[in-house]
Amino acid sequence: MDPAPVHLMGGTYVANAGRRYRRARRRLRGGRRGVVAVIGTLLALLVFFALFGIFLTQYVPLWMTDNEAQFTSQAVTSFANFKQGVDSQYILGGPESVGTAFTISSQGVPLLAQPTEGTLTFLPSTCPGGFYTKGGVPTAPSSLYYGQPVTSSYCVFQNITLNYGPGATAAHPNYYTQHVATGVLEMLLPNRYYNSQTLYFEDDALIQSQGGLQQVVALPPPLNVTTVNGNTSVTTSFLQLAGNASTLIGQGSEQVYSHLSFSQSLSSNGKPLNGGHSLLNLTYEIGTQYPCAWESYLWNLMNTSGVPYYTGATTGIHAYPYTFYNFQDPRASTSTPTIPIANPVASCSSVGGTTLLAIDLYNVDYATVFYAGTILTVGVGGT
């Protein structure tokens, strides 16, 4: 029942004034509740975006850094398995084909970060113009540099030379040398959060580079130099990679197949001298685009081999013709070994082309060389 009419002062009659007042109060209370709800929603959104921003700028980079570090480790492991398979093939003579799975991408962050994709490339390296042969009788140490590429720039190769091959005699030195363009298997890891890496398989060794002079031999070649009771033995190999040039970019993993083409080994003990030493001289030479890694590796290898270092002396243990080694220019024409620099690693430089590096080992007592070739196929259909 409606309240009684109200007569206001001045004669104005107001009907239903109480009802309007109550309605206004209800609308005011409802509006306040609506404002509070909007403010609460905005505050919740602000908190959400703040936390999401922290997640994007802090947690996602940490997550992806861990993913890319794991990706780099998996790539190195893939190369290690590949090298192990290839080495077993040419040392043991089989199996004929070996497949190795290469992880070519990292894990991602669902909906937020794409996986980092690597690039796997195989280049059956060729040397423009091939190799040339020095003339003359291979008697002086300088003649050990027998096979050289006609154009050395960007020619990835290896050269093994023995001045006395298997079955050599004084009358028939049976000079032996092999020089081949080795070919490379390369993987580029363009990491966005972790350090970018380049993995480079050449001369049966894995080079890991982070650009510039930051290079290291992650997996060394089967090059061993040992001295026991004054007797020096050298074991080495050189591996030729052949096949069709290939490049893969994608996610997940891909198979790389190695098919053994040929394998042989040879041994030589040179021509013994009265003093117990030998006339067997061996040169290990490579042409590489990663000289800093190779120089450091070869320098450390020889420092721990027990072989004395040639200093240019004419008498004593560090003098020619006793067993020693040095680094020198493979194109040198001197008739006696040149005096090497004190530390090749200190002068390391990478200019983007091929650098020639060589170790001369004079008066070695025994040498064994493995020579092998394998055909690489990358991806589906490799078998």
Residue with tokens 């970019």: 249
Does pLDDT of 128 surpass 50?
Answer: yes
pLDDT of residue 188: 94
Rg (CA), the chain: 36
pLDDT of residue 349: 61
Q: Could you tell me the pTM of the whole model?
A: 0.76
Return d(Cα 208, Cα 77) in angstroms, integer. 12
Each residue's pLDDT tens digit, 249-282:
888 889 999 999 998 888 888 766 655 556 688 8
Q: 321: cis peptide before it, omega within 30°? A: yes
Residue with tokens 């794991």: 70
Q: What is the average pLDDT across 27-47?
A: 66
Taking the CA atoms of residue 44, residue 49, residue 51 and residue 57 in that order, the dihedral angle to the nearest 10 degrees is: 180
Ranges of each domain in the chain:
59-378
Confidence of residue 140 (pLDDT cuts 50, 70, 90): very low
Confidence of residue 359 (pLDDT cuts 50, 70, 90): confident
Distance of CA 253 to the CA centre of its chain: 18
Return d(Cα 141, Cα 133) in angstroms, integer. 15
Q: What is the average pLDDT across 203-231?
A: 87
pLDDT of residue 288: 85
Does pLDDT of 180 surpass 70?
Answer: yes
Return d(Cα 309, Cα 343) in angstroms, integer. 11
Confidence of residue 334 (pLDDT cuts 50, 70, 90): very low
Q: What is the average pLDDT across 360-367?
A: 82
Q: What is the average pLDDT across 139-143?
A: 41
Q: How big is the CA angle at 295 (ends 371 and 236), to the nearest 5 degrees?
A: 20
Structure tokens at 104: 């070519």
Q: How big is the CA angle at 217 (ends 303 and 64), to the nearest 5 degrees?
A: 145
Please state which of the ranges 81-85, 101-105, 310-314 shows the lowest mean pLDDT: 310-314
Does pLDDT of 238 surpass 50?
Answer: yes
Confidence of residue 17 (pLDDT cuts 50, 70, 90): low
Distance of CA 41 to the CA centre of its chain: 53
pLDDT of residue 295: 82
Return d(Cα 124, Cα 1) in angstroms, integer. 103
